[in-house]
Each structure stands twice: as structure tokens, then as C-alpha cells.
Amino acid sequence: MITLSNVVKTFTSRFGSFTALNGIDLTIQKGEIFGIIGYSGAGKSTLVRMINMLETPTSGEVTVGDTKLNQLSSRELRRARRKIGMVFQHFNLLWSRTVAENVALPMEIAGVPKREHAARVMELLDLVGLSEKADAYPAQLSGGQKQRVGIARALANQPDVLLCDEATSALDPKTTDSILELLKEINRKLGLTIVLITHEMHVIEKICDRVAVMESGRIIEMGDVVEVFSHPKTTTTRELISQVAGSEQPEQEFLEGLNQGAVLRCTFLGEAANQTVISKLVTELGVEVNILQGQIKRLKDIAFGTLYIQVPGDVEVEAKTVAYLKKQGIKVDVLRGAEGGGRS
């Protein structure tokens, strides 16, 4: 649906040049919710603005659908943009227009006949749950309501893609969740591809199918959210994940201070997270289990958890336990072998 190949963006000013994007290759599938996360300055905002050419690439190609955006004339680009909705951090509504008039703006711009506006506006406001605010002005709305108007407006011309530029970053946690729910619902109902950028891992885990982690203008890690969450490869990713999880590994010193016995990290995914694995482990295998630390959280539609356990006993006990857990579909990493000492 969306392809960026070898995209580079360099900003040049009197004070020198700055490379915001340094060779981005990215493919986003039709109908998925794709998240881009990174700290500020990582280049994620530039990246998302490239998908509708609010920023033009210094080199490289941007394709949306079958259209190479960077080769279009400005007239063709305007036409293409109608099919790419965008939602902004600060909503960017016109305060001189009512909610309904704001939502109708993209239709006016696209030249949709006036008589068709009212019905479509009501349909959209209904979708975002703001029907009764049609005649209010943005200044009379709360932040969450303003963003709902922003979303309704972005959907007015039935786009194929919805870009969200830090759409929830100006909202409180509760409102953020309700907006995320709305985005998820829209994605399901309309089958629309959503690309969102954020610096909050919470947003990613809540609604995204896949995620790309950005740092210094590059994508340093990319994959299914579950995969990235369960096996972060870079320090930045681990840091970002720790925003939402208390799931950092226990301190090495803490592990060393424990009595003998294997220390295991068990990663539960999907079904496995819903089963009574640990109690079965105790009853069926007769091993003792000391739970050190753990948690289970819900990603978009899948449960995901990590549990750190200590299993007192020798190497045999360890092997037996690991084998049993693996059979249950749990991923096991041995942090410390049964005979004590470092990681195996």
C-alpha cells in the first residue's frame, strides 16, 4: 500500500545541513495499523509527512497505492492528497467554522457538490460520536472532542490511508485511550490503512499491528508489535518498552544473590498467557517455583507476558522444566543455569 524506498531528507540552512531521514526503506500493508516510534528528533514526523508530500524527499521514492508521489505535478499531487487523510497533534481545526463546517472543508476543497455535504458530515460525526456537537465551534470542545472532529474531517473524502502525526500526544491518558479505540474501530470498519507516529509505547501496544523504531533518521528495528515487544534488539527499543512495562530484566546482582537453582525468563504469547501453566508445572512436574517478577499485558489483540521464575534444583530439574514450558508454547530463556554462575 505504502512504500518508501531509500528515502533521504536533508534540511539545509545557513547554519549547515541536517539529515532528518537517512535511507528509509519501509513497506506498509493495506489495512494494517503501522506505528512509528522514536524520541523527538528521530525523524518520525518528517517520515510521516513524507507520505503525503508535506515534506518532499531529497532522494528516494514514496509510493502510495500505485502512485509515485514524488513524481507528480502539483495538480496531480493535490488530487492524490484527497485520498490520504491526516490527523494532527494540535488538531488544526478552523475556529472560524463550526464542527460540521470543519468536517465539510475537505469536501469543499475537493469540489464535492454542496448538497452531498450535510449527509456525509452527519454520517462522519455519527462515526466519531459527536452528532450533537455539529453546530458547536471548536473552542467549545474538549481536546478529545477536537481530535474526534479532526478524525472525522480526515475521513471526509473516503481516504485509503490515514496518517496520524502524534494524534494523541496532546491528550490525557484516558482521552488517549478513547481516541485509540476510535482509530481501531475505524480501521476495522473501513479497512483503512493507518500510519501513526508517537513517542509513547502505550499507543503502539494498544492498537498497532506492526511497529518501526526510529533513531537518528533511520529505522533501527521493525516487525510485528508482539515480536518487537518480546525480543527487542536495541537499547532504544528496550527503553521505549520500559515506558509501558515494568518488564526490565531483574538486576544481575539480584540474580546472583539468589539461592541455587535455574533462573528462567518465560515469554507468554497469546493462548499461553491465558493458561494456568505455572500451577500445572508445580502439580504435574512436582517442581517448586519461585516467582521473581512478572506481568501480563494486552497488546492490540493478543496477550503478552513475561515472567521471571527461579526453579530450585539441579540441572535435571532445569531441563525438565524448560522442556515442559516449551511444550506449552512458552518461550524460555535461561538467565542463569542450575549450577549457579552466569547465563548459559
Between 35 and 159, name the residue whose CB sits nearer to other proteins. Answer: 159
Query: Quick one: which of 157, 160, 101, 162 has its CA closest to 133?
Result: 101
Query: Among residues 112 and 220, whose Cβ is nearest to other proteins?
Result: 112
Least distance from C-beta 327 to other proteins, angstroms? 52
- Compare residues 40 and 96 and give the one whose CB is closer to other proteins: 96
Smallest separation, CB 90 to other proteins (Å): 6
Neighbours of 3 (CB within 10 A): 15
In the complex, the smallest distance separating the C-beta of residue 16 from other proteins, rounded to whole angstroms, is 18
Q: How many CB atoms lie within 10 A of CB 173?
A: 9
Nearer to other proteins (CB atom), residue 87 or residue 311 = 87
Report in angstroms how near the CB of residue 142 gets to other proteins at its nearest.
16
Cβ closest to other proteins, residue 107 vs residue 299:
107
Kindly state the DSSP code that residue 175 receives in the 8-state scheme: H
Question: Are 153 and 103 spatial neighbours (Cβ–Cβ below 8 Å)?
Answer: yes
Q: Radius of gyration over alpha carbons of the chain, in Å?
A: 24
How near is the Cβ of 341 to other proteins at its closest, in Å? Answer: 58
Q: Tell me whether residue 45 or residue 236 sits nearer to other proteins (CB atom).
A: 45
Give me the least distance between CB of 169 and other proteins, in Å please: 14
Beta carbon nearer to other proteins, 67 or 249: 67
Q: What is the largest CA-CA distance in the chain?
A: 78
CB of 86 vs other proteins, minimal distance in Å: 4
Is residue 277 within 8 Å of residue 202, measured between CB atoms?
no
φ/ψ of residue 162, rounded to 5: -120, 120
- State the amino acid at position 133 in one-letter form: K
Quick one: cell of 310?
527461579
Q: Which is nearer to other proteins, 53 or 277 (CB)?
A: 53
Nearest distance from residue 74's CB to other proteins, in Å? Answer: 9
Residue 110 or 285 with smaller CB distance to other proteins: 110
All 3 cell numbers of residue 104? Answer: 465539510
Set of cell numbers at residue 273: 498467557
Quote the DSSP letter at residue 70: G
Angstrom distance (rounded) from CA 211 to CA 147: 23
DSSP string spanning 257-286? TSPSSEEEEEEEETHHHHS-HHHHHHHHH-
Angstrom distance (rounded) from CA 272 to CA 280: 12
- Torsion, CA 244, CA 247, CA 251, CA 256, rounded to 10: 170
Chain contacts with other proteins (rule: CB under 8 A): 52, 54, 77-82, 84-86, 88, 90, 92-97, 105-106, 108-110, 137-139, 153, 157, 163
DSSP letters spanning 131-145 = GGGTTS-GGGS-HHH
